[in-house]
Structure 1
């Protein structure tokens, strides 16, 4: 008897078009490719345009993120498609219009892309998309594809989003002002959380585009075959098991460090400044790294209070000050007058840098962060304690994990406003080594989870086994349906001849 042919799984991977969603999916692509998968990685043309610019290419130059990966033997293809807007459309300035379109109409472009890819495949691929892709269930159903959802935030945020009806039933969504500091203990897998630590959209009384995005994402979640969580089950020990009881979830994080880094892929959408030489001139653990991520905005007042706090603290620092870091897009000079001259010996101010490279440098002793989930994972992985100033979305909830649960950081301000004196005091406390032992423990847990026999490694292996079984089942069912149709056709053909 002939042996069964082993199917090589082929993943079509499409990230949400933002830096913090692209990075972990790229590393997941590398990891799955190293396990024998074929990958077709898809960016929008606009994201590809930004990648080209950041790599000092012109807009017409063609770059391929995975050319080095293919040279090492990995089967990763790369392609792009339109998001429905011209390249010169300002997606940040028109974020509501942009996301309304992605939620409602973007599926047309995905459908065209998927039809072309599926036609070119020898056998049916499966789909891996960001959970916030509003179309993945529809597309997977149309093309009879196994549907994998990739969650780029902590399990805690997933649990709260999944149980919105429960929050609504208990009067905590939308959140009235009189309940702004309630303690919630009834959400499965969430032992205790204050409503002040809820994601920011839960505090909004009017329906926003973020509400629509979350609603649509979790309408589809029951029709998803597998859900990959970018977290470590030992760091969310109640939440991950609770989700496992109700959904096919696999905690496989931190995904960004699954890659051994032997294959260097730059996914930055902004040109980077090299910081290594400057850092090497500073003593170990003496530098504070400051970044509010790639997307969220602060105010000029907050930026200036942080600057004055740095002067009072009198420490070494690297500060990522994006051109669009403040809410007022017309504000071009956000730092205090003469600030850069005053700190030229101690401070390095850059528009963007390789955050992973900076955080891994021995010179870094602390991280002032907006608490984006990738930043939290990178800071914890490299053993860097955090000074937390959450701004939007999941960031207040991520702060809870860092400060209250893991105890590897502190809040930038304890009141409603940021003041320079408090900033200086908190910086000094962060940099004094108080959190050194706890951050070592958390970093060790994360690294152990990726070792052979670690929880994340085992969960990923379990996912691969379960996925292969599901793919074989889909292929078998497809073959059976085809054979049945063939038998029926042959029967009618013979009947017509008679």
Structure 2
């Protein structure tokens, strides 16, 4: 027998992009592949402090230097100057190509699998003579929109003027016509022009010519029309492999790769709550709320009279001082209305039987984790593809609704409606079963990932 196939994974430096590639690494290693994960140096140093080696899995961690330091990954502060961060990513090509060449001396590298937004990775792989594979970290619906950039530009919707958000977007692969307000936020003219939208969209779309395959972290049964349409759009290369994270009972605690300290006390608190009684509230690692929004949100949560577990700190609301969070937390402790923490092991929280709803920013990881565990959602999209996910997944799939009235009264009413909706809970349970079947042996995602492993040389 020869040595095992070796694959290299290159995540985009952000918490929400590193996690799914770590889960992919675990899946590939479980099938006998040797895996190397290459992060930027500041994230590598952070990750190695908590990394858990699993017996019989050959996964190694390597790093390359990046001039910008981001030990917690791309954050809300980077949204103000995304160009600088993306330029730093593009500048990694030389260092990454050099590391790939060194790795080739001791391993036969079958391919480099890199996050769609890591624009230098496929170029570095090509320089090293290694096949490149794209990891699409979001929904297929978002991919349909992103790969249709030329059509959107021809229709005058890229960049998107605020006055054009009510226009109808049609003829995109696998998608029914929808209003332009649901296009990813990076199409909005102000952000697009400030952050080099044309440049980075063009660079990202070049990957179609370079990558041999696109592994999509979604479920075929969730978006069948889009996956079928995308097969024609990128000629048989777009395949579903999600969900990659372990489902309930699958050892989630052994799979974590958090860049922030997690509160285990939140799980103990959940243990003492009634089934389906708790609203989980989290906006991920990149979103930012104003002081006014935070005040309305906290007041609305308390007014809802529903138990809640909230993840929040100054990273989420830079305008709010520490005393606001301290006083809010103390008030919750006295009243018993909920619990405030700075970070949690989210997958374990969403798997917990006491969690009955999720107020979320609609980031794809959160959306996929929530529906894969039968938890209906209340969407508060903030940026990127989050409004797209809210439309095509929460609302179109009937497993949630968008929070449009962000006053304390609107928030409290929406929370009560979400927590009381048996219809959304039933639909979310249906999606949960579909996710479990897709990831199980002989399920659609399992078989496609298995076929991918056997196709690489």
TM-score w.r.t. structure 1 length? 0.84
Pairs within 5 Å for 1:290-329: 290-328=281-319
CA distance in 1, matches of 2:328, 2:385: 32
Q: Is the Cα–Cα contact under 8 Å of residues 91 and 98 in structure 1 kept in the other structure?
A: no
SS at match of 1:255: coil
CA distance in 2, matches of 1:441, 1:109: 46
User: Structure 1's 131 and 87: CA in aligned 2 closer, same or farther, altered over 3 A?
Assistant: closer
CA distance in 1, matches of 2:347, 2:275: 17
Alignment of 1:119 with 2:105, yes or no, is yes
CA distance in 2, matches of 1:293, 1:322: 11
Q: Is the Cα–Cα contact under 8 Å of residues 132 and 214 in structure 1 kept in the other structure?
A: no
Q: Is the Cα–Cα contact under 8 Å of residues 201 and 210 in structure 1 kept in the other structure?
A: no
Q: 1:352 maps to what in 2?
A: 343
Give the CA deviation at 1:127. 0.5
Alignment of 1:232 with 2:219, yes or no, is yes
User: Structure 1's 50 and 88: CA in aligned 2 closer, same or farther, altered over 3 A?
Assistant: closer
CA distance in 2, matches of 1:115, 1:367: 45
Alignment of 1:404 with 2:390, yes or no, is no
Q: Is the Cα–Cα contact under 8 Å of residues 7 and 109 in structure 2 kept in the other structure?
A: no
CA distance in 2, matches of 1:266, 1:88: 16
Q: 1:459 maps to what in 2?
A: 448
SS at match of 2:224: coil
CA distance in 2, matches of 1:73, 1:26: 16
Q: 2:33 maps to what in 1?
A: 37
Alignment of 1:102 with 2:88, yes or no, is yes
Unmatched 5+ stretches in structure 1: 56-64, 472-498
Give the CA deviation at 1:234. 1.2
Pairs within 5 Å for 1:108-187: 108-121=94-107, 123-187=108-172
Q: Deviations 1:375-422 (Å, cap 9, x if unpaired)?
A: 0011101111101000000000000123321111112224xxx20000
SS at match of 1:43: strand
Alignment of 1:430 with 2:418, yes or no, is yes
User: Structure 1's 277 and 240: CA in aligned 2 closer, same or farther, altered over 3 A?
Assistant: same
Q: Deviations 1:230-266 (Å, cap 9, x if unpaired)?
A: 0011111211111112321111111223794278133
Give the CA deviation at 1:6. 5.3
User: Structure 1's 6 and 388: CA in aligned 2 closer, same or farther, altered over 3 A?
Assistant: same
Give the CA deviation at 1:314. 1.4
Q: 2:174 maps to what in 1?
A: 189
SS at match of 2:57: coil
Give the CA deviation at 1:356. 0.7
User: Structure 1's 321 and 277: CA in aligned 2 closer, same or farther, altered over 3 A?
Assistant: same
CA distance in 1, matches of 2:73, 2:396: 39
Q: 1:272 maps to what in 2?
A: 262
Give the CA deviation at 1:210. 6.5
Matched residue count: 445
Q: Deviations 1:288-310 (Å, cap 9, x if unpaired)?
A: 10000012211111111011111
CA distance in 2, matches of 1:200, 1:291: 20
Q: 1:59 maps to what in 2?
A: none
- How large is the Cα RMSD of the aligned pairs? 2.3
Structure showing greater radius of gyration is 1
Q: Deviations 1:173-200 (Å, cap 9, x if unpaired)?
A: 1123332112222112212222111100
CA distance in 2, matches of 1:13, 1:137: 11
User: Structure 1's 52 and 349: CA in aligned 2 closer, same or farther, altered over 3 A?
Assistant: farther
Q: Is the Cα–Cα contact under 8 Å of residues 260 and 343 in structure 2 kept in the other structure?
A: yes
CA distance in 1, matches of 2:193, 2:181: 19
CA distance in 2, matches of 1:66, 1:343: 34
Aligned to 1:420, which of 395, 403, 408?
A: 408
SS at match of 1:234: helix
Aligned to 2:202, which of 199, 209, 215?
A: 215
SS at match of 1:110: helix
CA distance in 2, matches of 1:155, 1:177: 25
User: Structure 1's 331 and 90: CA in aligned 2 closer, same or farther, altered over 3 A?
Assistant: farther
TM-score w.r.t. structure 2 length? 0.91
